[in-house]
Amino acid sequence: MPRLPPVLISQAARLDRHLPLLLRECRDLNSARNELRWMQEAVDEPQREGSIGTRSAGPHDHALASFVKRRARGEPIQYILGTQPFGELDIKCRPGVLIPRPETEVYTTELARIIQKVQVEAEATSKHCYIVDFCTGTGCIALLLHSLLKPPTPQQHGKFRQLRIRGFDISQHALRLSAENTHHNLELRALHKDAVQDICFEHLDLLALAQQPKEKIITTLYHKYEAQPLDLIVSNPPYISPQQYKPGGSTTKSVRKFEPKLALVPPDSLLFDGVDQADQFYAALIRIAVASRARLLVVEVGDTEQALRVRDMCRAHQEAWIEIWKDDNTVVSDTGVPFDSRQGFEDRIDARVVAMWFDPEWIKWRKQSLVRRN
Amino acid sequence: MRTLLSPLPNLGNISPGVPGRLRLLRTLSTSIPNLKKNDQLPPRPNIPDDSFTKRFLKGSGPGGQKINKTSSAVQLTHLQTGIVVKSQATRSRTQNEHIARRILAEKLELIEKGTESRVAKKQERASRKKRSAEKKSRRKYRKLADENPGVRAGEEGRQDEDLEEESEEDKDEEELGASEVVKMRIQLPLKPTDQVER
Ligand SMILES: C[S@@+](CC[C@H](N)C(=O)[O-])C[C@H]1O[C@@H](n2cnc3c(N)ncnc32)[C@H](O)[C@@H]1O
């Protein structure tokens, strides 16, 4: 990392004595000031209940100083403060479970919009909606989808359908945290009260499931209370290659040092021959989506090259309508042609999502709605 | 707080607007029946979803799992006027978007309605409250001073004053701290403070 310019450091020091330390990790004054303000607010928080004006200086300044010190060593602010906002939700974060990223928030919001529309507009779609979130971590994707598809405020729901969302993860830490997150957000009234019944988090090894015969995959995913077919499989699986993960690679030091490797790098015992280690989970997800006849499979990817590899894997496997979504929300066809006035891959904005549509009715609807978008 | 910051439901009515002025808002056309005090504020203004573009501001470089960025800044650009509003007040992009959208709606309302706008009325009310509080305080101090000579004016005189509780509506102003109007291409027809303060 390049050294910070001394002018910047002294400028920061003049504003607040904590800022130079925060700059080490934040790198620019604006984010350092924001983070300092958020830490300050977190430290002051319990005080708000009590009477104003009795603020005792000592212990607070101490708490703030220790937050700043931890942050300067690279610890993510979400582990320090214990939460990350995600849509209207407040997601609890703890070491051992990956922190939700803003890119994930963006495409999950878009996904909810699509699901809502396709449910209303496409033929052959029932009033039921069944979603599976593999590699759910904090549960952020499953919970945000619920908060958007069945919002907690009464005036917002109209004709409602049955919603069922299952989140799977291999990590017990993740499963405990996702359950806590459901209750935490119910208490905050950020989730509809039905979330308790509609959403469940379960233990499952995705790579092991993908090795099972088709029948076993079907019985695992469909109990009698789930609508068939599965409307959506969504997943943000581990997708970083060992080369990208090692020091000097594209993975930042703070991520390597503080977030779980289990959530980031697929295991090196390769299950699928001829598939890169970074792409192992995608091969598993495509196999499961095809076996369970899911209507739509949406996966997060690390960059454009990975998106194109996932596209090729899917093409080789099953007939599908494949889209690539970029970080700026541009939708690009599987041949790289953008569906709106923006650019394809040449602007170097990273691809973030591959969406694989399998259901003919949904594909018909989707193509029409992309035309209307222009 | 959540409900305060959420956008208003769109009732689908376009206000007729004042002739000769820009028509920018989709104000709620339901008039408030039976105004208790003439002090009541007009409804909070709102703008249509498709009247602005939204951008999440973050640094360059890779995203996703490899990095953990904490930028939550949201920037809205109003298409018709080119007004740009940015908010990084909270850690939540969703809240920041609500905040930026509210500021934008208020700016547009001010342009469209001037002293009749909610912001202007609110300011007027606030300064009226302040004046009456000061008056009360002075009165109280005089009384205290009469009863036990030696009491000093100032903070003490104010503290147990039965000042009106800050209403929920007034509070949300504070959250706008780290939000700003970045660019105003058009000139405001009038400044509300000039009007109310005389
Ligand atoms: C990149 S994190 C995604 C977390 C969350 N969905 C998000 O978007 O923030 C990947 C998750 O996959 C889980 N995981 C790793 N290997 C797995 C496996 N074989 N089966 C199921 N989940 C696995 C990890 O525990 C981790 O929670």
Of A35, A99, A190, the CB nearest to B68: A99
Q: What is the dihedral of CA A39, A41, A43, A47, to 10 degrees?
A: 180
Of residues A341 and A372, which shows the higher confidence score? A372
Q: What percent of chain A clears pLDDT 70, i.e. is strictly above it?
A: 90
Q: Does B171 touch chain A (CB under 8 A)?
A: no
The predicted structure's pLDDT at residue A245: 97
Q: Residue whose CA is closest, atom 26 of ligand 1?
A: A263
Q: What is the reported pLDDT for B152?
A: 45
Whether the per-residue pLDDT at A262 is higher than 60: the answer is yes
- Number of H helices and number of E strands within chain B? 6, 4
The pLDDT value given to residue A160: 56
Which range of A336-345, B32-41, B185-194 scores highest in mean pLDDT? It is A336-345
Domains of chain A: 6-73 (no CATH), 85-373 (3.40.50.150)
Ligand 1 centroid – CA A206 distance (Å) = 9
- Please report, rounded to a whole number, the percentage of residues in chain A having pLDDT higher than 90: 76
Residues near A334 by beta carbon (within 8 Å), at least 6 away in sequence: A311, A315, A321, A322, A323, A324
Can you give the pLDDT at residue B40?
A: 73
Is residue B1 pLDDT above 50, yes or no?
no
Q: CB under 6 Å to ligand 1: residues?
A: A 98, 100, 104, 135-138, 140-141, 168-171, 174, 204-207, 236-238, 262-263; B 65
Q: Of A275-289, A311-325, B90-104, B166-180, which has the strongest mean pLDDT?
A: A275-289
Are A92 and A181 in contact, with CB atoms under 8 Å apart? yes
Residue B12: pLDDT over 70 = no
**Distance, C-alpha A145 to centroid of its chain:** 11
> Which residues of chain B have a CB within 8 Å of the CB of A189?
2
Question: A103 at the B interface (CB within 8 A)?
Answer: yes
Quick one: average pLDDT of B83-88? Answer: 92
- How far away, in angstroms, is A304 Cα from ligand 1 center? 21
Q: Complex ipTM, two decimals?
A: 0.89
Instruction: Output the 3-class SS for chain A.
Output: CCCCCHHHHHHHHHHCCCHHHHHHHHCCHHHHHHHHHHHHHHHHHHHHHCCCCCCCHHHHHHHHHHHHHHHHCCCCHHHHHCEEEECCEEEECCCCCCCCCHHHHHHHHHHHHHHHHHHHHCCCCCCEEEEEEECCCCCHHHHHHHHHHCCCCHHHCCCCCEEEEEEEECCHHHHHHHHHHHHHHHHCCCCCCCHHHHEEEEECCHHHHHCCCHHHHHHHHCCCCCCCCCCEEEECCCCCCHHHHCCCCCCCHHHHHHCCHHHCCCCCCCCCCCCCHHHHHHHHHHHHHHHCCCCEEEEECCCHHHHHHHHHHHHHHCCCEEEEEECCCCEEECCCCECCCCCCCCCCCCEEEEEEECCHHHHHHHHHHHHHHC
pLDDT of residue B175: 41
Q: Which residue has the higher pLDDT, A356 or B46?
A: A356
B17 vs B97: which has the higher pLDDT:
B97
Residue A98 in contact with partner chain B when CB distance is under 8 A: yes
Q: Sort out which chain B residues have CB atoms less than 8 A from A106's CB and list them.
A: 56
pLDDT score of A122: 79
pLDDT band at A342 (very low <50, low <70, confident <90, very high): low
B67, closest residue in chain A (CA to CA) = A252
| Mean local confidence (pLDDT), A31-39 | 94
Of the pLDDT bands very low, low, confident and very high (cuts 50, 70, 90), residue A318 is: confident
Question: Which tokens is A338 given?
Answer: 């953008």
Express each pLDDT in A171-217 by its tens digit.
Answer: 999 999 999 999 999 999 999 999 999 999 999 999 999 999 999 99
CA of A270 to the centre of ligand 1 (A): 17
pLDDT value at position A254? 95
pLDDT of residue A284: 98
Q: For residue B145, what pLDDT band results from cuts at 50, 70 and 90?
A: low
A302/B94 CB distance under 8 A = no
Looking at the predicted structure, is the pLDDT value of residue B6 above 50? Answer: no
| Mutational pocket test of ligand 1: of A98, A101, A145, the residue with most ligand atoms within 8 Å of the beta carbon | A98
Best mutation target among B1, B70, B155 (most A Cβ atoms within 10 Å) is: B70
Mean of all residue pLDDT scores within chain A: 90
* Centre of ligand 1 from the C-alpha of residue A14, in Å: 43
Mutate which of A97, A135, A202, A255 for ligand 1? The one with the most ligand atoms within 8 Å of its CB, which is A135
Nearest to A250 among B58, B66, B69 (CB): B66
Distance from CA of B174 to the nearest CA of A (A): 13
Helix axes A57-72, A29-44, angle to 10 degrees: 140
Confidence of residue B184 (pLDDT cuts 50, 70, 90): low
Interface of A with B in 193-252 (CB under 8 A): 236, 238-240, 244, 250-252
The pLDDT value recorded for residue B196 is 30
Section B16-37 average pLDDT: 45
Distance from Cα A178 to the centre of ligand 1, integer Å: 12
Chain A nearest C-alpha distance from B177 (Å): 11
Q: What is the pLDDT of residue B197?
A: 28
Q: Where are the domains of chain B?
A: 8-42+117-197, 49-114
- Copy the structure tokens of residue A26: 């934040």
For A233, phi then psi, to 5°, come to: -110, 125
| B78 has a pLDDT exceeding 50 | yes
- Lowest-pLDDT choice from A347-361, B50-64, B172-186: B172-186
Domain B49-114 is found in CATH 1.10.240.10: no
Q: Do B65 and A38 touch (CB under 8 A)?
A: no
**Mean pLDDT value of segment A82-91:** 97
**Does position A141 have pLDDT exceeding 50, yes or no?**
yes
Place of tokens 């999440």: B56
Would you state the pLDDT for residue A331? Answer: 87
Looking at per-residue pLDDT, the higher value among B153 and A206 belongs to: A206
pLDDT number for residue B191: 37
Kindly tell me if the per-residue pLDDT of A345 is higher than 90: no
Q: How confident is the model at residue B8 (pLDDT cuts 50, 70, 90)?
A: very low
Q: How much is the pLDDT for B177? A: 53
* Mean pLDDT of the A52-59 span: 54
Contact A102 B93 (CB under 8 A): yes
- Let me know the angle formed at the C-alpha of A65 by A59 and A70, rounded to the nearest 5 degrees: 130
Rounded mean pLDDT, A319-338: 84
> If you measure from the C-alpha of residue A260 to the centroid of ligand 1, how many angstroms do you get, rounded to a whole number?
10
Contacts 24+ apart (CB under 8 A), A248-255: A250/B62, A250/B66, A251/B65, A251/B66, A251/B67, A252/B66, A252/B67, A252/B68, A253/A74, A254/A25, A254/A74, A254/A75, A254/A76, A254/B68, A255/B65, A255/B66, A255/B67, A255/B68
Residue in chain B closest to A78 (alpha carbons) equals: B70
Q: What is the DSSP letter of B35?
A: -
- Which residues of chain B lie closer than 8 angstroms to A278, CB-CB? none
Tell me the nearest-neighbour CA distance from B154 into chain A, angstroms. Answer: 16
Q: Which residues of A326-360 are buried (b: 16+ CB within 10 A; e: fewer)?
A: bbebbbbebeeebbeeeebbeeebbbbbbbbbbbe
Ligand 1, atom 17, residue with closest C-alpha: A170
Where on the phi/psi map is residue B62: left (φ > 0), alpha (ψ -120 to 50), or beta? beta
Mean pLDDT for the stretch of residues A137-144? 98
pLDDT score of A150 more than 60: yes
> Which of B2, B9, B65 lies nearest to residue A240, judging by beta carbons?
B65
Of the candidates A255, A300, A301, which has its C-beta nearest B67's C-beta?
A: A255
Closest partner residue to B71 among A31, A250, A303, by Cβ? A31
- Any CB–CB contact under 8 A between A77 and chain B? yes
* Count of A-B CB contacts under 8 Å: 89
Mean pLDDT over A30-37 rounds to 93
- Say what the pLDDT of residue B2 is: 30
User: pLDDT at position B135, please?
Assistant: 77
Structure confidence at residue A138 (pLDDT): 98
Q: Which residue has the higher pLDDT, A308 or B123?
A: A308
Hey, are the CB atoms on B88 and A34 less than 8 Å from each other?
Answer: yes
Whether the Cβ atoms of residue B177 and residue B86 lie closer than 8 Å to each other: no
| Chain-chain contact of B71 with A252 (C-beta, under 8 angstroms) | no
**pLDDT of A91 over the 90 cut:** yes
What's the mean pLDDT in A91-96? 98
Nearest CA to ligand 1 atom 9: A100
Candidate from A294-303, B17-26, B61-70, B152-161 with smallest mean pLDDT: B152-161
